[in-house]
Structure 1
Amino acid sequence: MRQLRSTVGAVLVFLLAFLLVSTLTAGCRRSGSGDEADLVDSIRSGGRERTYVLHVPPGYDEGAGNSLVLAFHGHGGQGENQERLSGMEAVSDANGFLIAYPDGIDRGWNDGRGINEGIDDVGFARDLVEKLSAEYGVDPKRVYATGISNGGFMSFRLACDAPDVFAAVAPVAALMSVPLVESNRSTTPVSLLLMNGTGDPLVPWEGGQIGGALGDRGEGISTQASIEYWVALDGCATTPQAARLPDMDPGDGTTVTQYVYPGGRDSTEVVLCEVTGGGHTWPGGYQYMRESIIGRTSRDLEASEYIWEFFRDHPRD
C-alpha cells in the first residue's frame, strides 16, 4: 500500500508540475527577439491545421543558403515549452540559423510507439520544412531535427521515414523504439547524435519499458543498441573515439563521456553523449521537475550549443 501511495503521489506531483510549467509558459510566445519577431503560425497538413513557433535570428539573410532546425517537445508539452527548456533561440541568434518549434496534436507525437496513431506527423514535418524552405531560403542539405523524450523518439522516426529531408538528427532522452526497429526499411545514411542519461527513470539506459511510474509508453532497445543500429546503417567505424568531457560542475552529480563513430557513408557520423548520473533532462537546460521524478540535469554540457555544432558539421553530402 505504501508503494502504491508513493507511485500515485509521484504521478500527482508530475501532473501538478506539468500544469505549473504550462501555465508559466502559456504567455511566453514572445513578440520579438533581437531584430526579428518570433512567429506563431500554422500550416494545413494531413487535413488538419498544424501550428508552430518560428524563431528568426537578427539579420537573417534569406539568400545565404541557411540551416533549419526543427525542435520537437516532449509528451504533454508544446513548442513553446521546448523553446524555454532548451534556450536554443540564443544559439540561433549567435549562429544565424532558423529554428521551428512544432506543436503536436494533443501535446504528443506519433513517433511509432502507438502514441497519436493516425496522426501523420512525418507528413507535417515534411510540409513544414517545405514551407519554411520556400519562404526563408533554406539550404536543403542543412535541415535537421532534435527533441526530448517523445520529441527525441520523433527525431529517430524522421531519420528512418524522412532521410531525404533531414541530414542529421539529435534525440535527447530517447531510444530507438522496438516498433521502429522492426518497421524501418530505410538504408539511407543520416548523421545521428544521441544524448542520454544513465539515471533516466522514464527512458531507461538499458532499454525495456518506457514511462516508469507514468505508465507504459512502449518499449525501446538500449542506448548502446540504438547507437549500434545507426553505426551499422550508416557504415561507421565500430570502435568509437572516446573522450571524457570536462566536469564543469562537480556538484551536479553528473559527468559526460563522448563516443564518436566516424567514417560513415556519405560523410555521416554517429555520436553518443553518455551523461553518467543524468536524468530525463536537457543538459544545460533548467530542472523542469523535481529530481525525484525526472532525475538530474547535467551542467557539464550545453546541449543546445553541442547539438548545433554537430548539425553545422554534418550537412548532407
Structure 2
Amino acid sequence: MLVLRLLIALSLCFCAAVAHAECRLGDVDALPDRASVYLPMPPAVEPMPLVILLHGSTGTGAEILRDSHLADTADRHGFVVIAPDGGIAAAHGFVWNIPGVPTVTGALPPKGARDDVAYLTGLANRLVATGCVDGTRIYVTGLSGGGRMASWLGCVAARRFAAIAPVVGLRAGRPLASDRTQADPATCRPEVPMPLLAFAGDADSTNPINGGGASYWQYAQSVALQRWAMLNGCSQPYARNLSATIYEQGYARCPDGAAVAARVTRGGQHSWSVVDNEAMWTFLSRHRR
C-alpha cells in the first residue's frame, strides 16, 4: 500500500512540477526493498522536505512509521518520511551499525556489515534525485538505537543533513575508552554545526538521562548536550519549564542558529511517547543545509 501510494504521489508530482526536476519513477524502483516511504497527499508542487525515521534496536522501519504517527504530521505539513531497516539482522528486526560500538546484542557490528552511514546518505540522495525531495531540507530522527544512529549521522555526515532530533538516544560520539561516562571527542567532529533537538523521559531505565544503562553506553544526556554545544559554538546554557510535565535543557547563542536542546518528559519512559511531533517538526523545519 505504501509503495502504491508513493507511485501515485510521485506521478502527481511529475505532472504538476513542470518548473522542477522530473520525478523519475525508475529511481524509486531502485530504492532498497526494506524501506517504508510515506508521501503526504496531495504532494506539493515544489520539492518537499524529507525526514528519515530510524527504528530502535531489533525493530523495523514499518513498526516505527506506525508507532511514531509521523505520517499524520507529514500530511499536515507536507514532508516525506522514509523509515528504512537497519543493516544488521537481530531478533525479530534489525540494528544499526555504529562502528566500534556494540549493538544491543552486546556484540560489535560484524565484519562486512552494511555501512549504514553510506546507506542512509545514499538513500537520501536517491530520493533527491527523484525531483520530489528538497536536498537542502533533509532531517533525521530515530528512537533509542535509532537515536544513537541519528546522532552518529550528525557527527560524521553533517553536510548532508540540516538538523537531527534523536529520541531517547542522544549521543555525541562513541564513549571514551578510558572512561565510558564521557564522550570521546575524537569520534564526533562534524564539518559544520549540527542543530539538534532531543527528546527523553526522566523515568527511562533503558537509557537513563543521568547516565548508566548498557555497559557500553554510560554517559549522561547532559554530557552529550555539552559536547554538541561546544561543537556548535553555543555560549549560553539554559533550563526552563515548558509545562507541568515537560522541561527543556539546552544551549543558546549559537552561530547560524545551530541550537542544542533536549526536552524531557517527567515520568517519561523509553518510547516515542516522550515526543511532541509538532514541536519536532517546528524545530526541524527552521533549518536548511
When normalised by structure 1's length, the TM-score is: 0.72
Assess if the C-alpha contact under 8 Å between 2:251 and 2:260 holds in 1: yes
Secondary structure of 2:272's match? coil
Instruction: Write the distance in 2 (CA, Å) between the matches of 1:168 and 1:43.
Output: 26
Instruction: Write the distance in 1 (CA, Å) between the matches of 2:276 and 2:119.
Output: 25
Instruction: Write the distance in 1 (CA, Å) between the matches of 2:67 and 2:138.
Output: 21
Alignment of 1:233-248 (within 5 A): 233-240=231-238, 242-247=239-244
Instruction: Write the distance in 1 (CA, Å) between the matches of 2:83 and 2:201.
Output: 23
Alignment of 1:103-142 (within 5 A): 103-105=85-87, 106=89, 107-112=94-99, 113-115=101-103, 116-117=109-110, 118-142=113-137
The residue aligned with 1:16 is none
The residue aligned with 2:19 is none
The residue aligned with 1:74 is 56
Instruction: Write the distance in 2 (CA, Å) between the matches of 1:93 and 1:237.
Output: 36
Deviation at 1:276, TM superposition (A): 2.1
Amino acid at match of 1:111: I
User: Which runs of 5 or more structure 2 residues have no equivalent in the other structure?
Assistant: 11-24, 104-108, 177-182
Aligned length: 250
RMSD between superposed Cα atoms in Å: 2.5
**Identity over aligned pairs, percent:** 29
Residue from 276, 283, 288 that aligns with 1:310: 283
The residue aligned with 2:71 is 89
- Is the counterpart of residue 194 in structure 1 residue 198 in structure 2? yes
Assess if the C-alpha contact under 8 Å between 1:237 and 1:262 holds in 2: yes
- Is the counterpart of residue 266 in structure 1 residue 256 in structure 2? yes
Instruction: Write the distance in 1 (CA, Å) between the matches of 2:141 and 2:283.
Output: 11
Check 1:246–1:126 CA distance in 2 against 1; reply closer, same or farther (3 A cut): same
Assess if the C-alpha contact under 8 Å between 1:74 and 1:148 holds in 2: yes
Instruction: Write the distance in 2 (CA, Å) between the matches of 1:223 and 1:311.
Output: 20
The residue aligned with 2:180 is none
- Is the counterpart of residue 227 in structure 1 residue 225 in structure 2? yes
Deviation >4 Å, runs of 4+: 28-33, 41-44
Deviation at 1:275, TM superposition (A): 1.8
Amino acid at match of 2:285: R
Check 1:256–1:30 CA distance in 2 against 1; reply closer, same or farther (3 A cut): farther
Assess if the C-alpha contact under 8 Å between 2:237 and 2:252 holds in 1: no
Assess if the C-alpha contact under 8 Å between 1:50 and 1:103 holds in 2: no
Q: Residues 209-238 of structure 1, C-alpha deviation per residue, up to 9 Å, x if partnerless?
A: 42xxxxx5x224211011111111001133
Check 1:94–1:87 CA distance in 2 against 1; reply closer, same or farther (3 A cut): same
Deviation at 1:265, TM superposition (A): 2.6
Instruction: Write the distance in 2 (CA, Å) between the matches of 1:207 and 1:68.
Output: 32
- Is the counterpart of residue 278 in structure 1 residue 268 in structure 2? yes
Amino acid at match of 1:161: V
Alignment of 1:6-155 (within 5 A): 32=5, 36=9, 43=30, 51-62=34-45, 64-105=46-87, 106=89, 107-112=94-99, 113-115=101-103, 116-117=109-110, 118-155=113-150
Deviation at 1:43, TM superposition (A): 4.8
Check 1:168–1:228 CA distance in 2 against 1; reply closer, same or farther (3 A cut): same
Instruction: Write the distance in 2 (CA, Å) between the matches of 1:42 and 1:108.
Output: 24
Deviation at 1:66, TM superposition (A): 2.0
Check 1:246–1:31 CA distance in 2 against 1; reply closer, same or farther (3 A cut): farther
Instruction: Write the distance in 2 (CA, Å) between the matches of 1:206 and 1:83.
Output: 28
Alignment of 1:135-214 (within 5 A): 135-176=130-171, 177-178=174-175, 181=184, 182-210=186-214
Deviation at 1:94, TM superposition (A): 0.5
Secondary structure of 1:129's match? helix
User: Which runs of 5 or more structure 1 residues have no equivalent in the other structure?
Assistant: 1-27, 211-215, 248-254, 284-297
Secondary structure of 1:259's match? strand
